[in-house]
Structures are given as C-alpha cells and as structure tokens.
C-alpha cells in the first residue's frame, strides 16, 4: 500500500480528556482530505479475578451511551508517560476496593482507530486483597460478580458492548478459561 501523509494538523479544541485536531491528509492518487483526530493520553483496564474464578465488574452510568454499562475497571492515564500497569492497579483499587496480589498483561485495544488515538492496555488481576474504594466525587459504581461464561453470554446477547470489556473478557476466556 502506498503511503498516506499528514500535511497539516490544526488544534481545534483542547478538552479535559482529549485534544481535537483536524488533519489535512495527502493520498497516493494526489487527492487531499481533512480528517478529524482525537488525541488521547491512553488508558488502562483490568480483569479482577476473584478466588472463586468469578470476575468483579463495575456497573456505572455512561453519559455518551445514555445508559448504565457493565465494564471491567478502567481509567485514563494521568500522563502519556504513566506506566499502564500502574494506572490499571490504581483503577482496580479506586473502583473495586481491592488490590492485586498478582497482575499480568492480557491484551491491548484501540478504542476507535478511525479518529482517536486512545489505546487501552488490559491486565488480569489475581490474588485480590481487600482494600478500600477511592471513587471520584462524581463517580458512582455498583460492584457485581459474574462467571466468565455468564459474561460471554452477556456479550453475545448485546448486554455488554463496551469494546475494552468485550475484548478483555473474550481474551481472558480464551487464555485462562479454555
């Protein structure tokens, strides 16, 4: 495939979670187009596996979806340089009130690669140790526990559609739950 080149990047809006740019792109056939681009610091997520093998999930209202979603714990990086494992472990404790005795890398996702740079590194947390939730002042989550099979059923029934959670549960099921 011939190379596509960015000729210009113009900052349109700097928001709390991302920066919105318009990129002027040049194509091998000589055409040009303006593409939208959201620059994101990145995020991390974690699959908390309890001693009985069930997965600890968080249910919370998501404004852009206009409804509650069932997800694995996750959050944005504090800076582009923050190690994603550190962020995943922080989010685990903040949202669930547990620390991981052991954690390992599982998979990475690109949330919406057509227009956003957000990459989410996903880990698995095992040997959970009770700690304390540290929710943000406007963060309201309910904790739920589900079997891997039940979560897979919820994915294929369309009840779980958050992309990082779908990828994480299916990757976990394939790697650990065969």
Cβ atoms within 10 Å of 141's Cβ, excluding its own? 18
pLDDT at 178: 66
Q: Give me the residue spans of the domains in the chain.
A: 5-39, 41-176
- d(CA 19, CA 127) in angstroms, rounded, equals 38
| pLDDT tens figures, 43-68 | 999 999 999 999 999 999 999 899 99
pLDDT at 177: 80
| CATH for 41-176 (3.40.50.2020, 3.90.79.10, 2.120.10.30, 3.40.50.1170) | 3.90.79.10
Which residues participate in catalysis according to the annotation? 137
Of the pLDDT bands very low, low, confident and very high (cuts 50, 70, 90), residue 113 is: very high
Mean pLDDT, residues 130-154 taken together:
91
Please answer whether residues 159 and 151 qualify as being in contact, where contact means their C-beta atoms are separated by less than 8 angstroms: no
**Under 8 Å CB-to-CB from 56, ≥6 apart: which residues?**
48, 49, 50, 73, 96, 98, 128, 143, 144, 145
């Amino acid at each position: 495939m011939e190379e596509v080149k960015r000729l210009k990047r113009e900052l349109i809006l700097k928001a709390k979670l991302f920066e919105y740019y318009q990129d002027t792109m040049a194509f091998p056939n000589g055409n040009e187009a303006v593409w939208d681009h959201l620059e994101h610091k990145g995020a991390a997520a974690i699959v908390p596996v309890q001693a009985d093998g069930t997965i600890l999930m968080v249910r919370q209202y998501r404004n852009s979806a206009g409804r509650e979603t069932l997800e694995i714990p996750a959050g944005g990086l504090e800076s582009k340089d923050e190690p994603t494992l550190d962020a995943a472990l922080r989010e685990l404790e903040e949202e669930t009130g547990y620390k991981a005795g052991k954690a390992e890398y599982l998979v990475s996702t690109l949330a919406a690669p057509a227009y956003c740079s957000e990459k989410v590194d996903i880990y698995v947390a095992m040997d959970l140790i009770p700690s304390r939730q540290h929710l943000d002042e406007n963060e309201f989550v309910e904790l739920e526990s589900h079997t891997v099979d039940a979560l897979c059923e919820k994915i294929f029934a369309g009840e779980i559609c958050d992309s990082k959670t779908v990828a994480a549960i299916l990757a976990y099921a394939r790697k650990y739950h065969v």
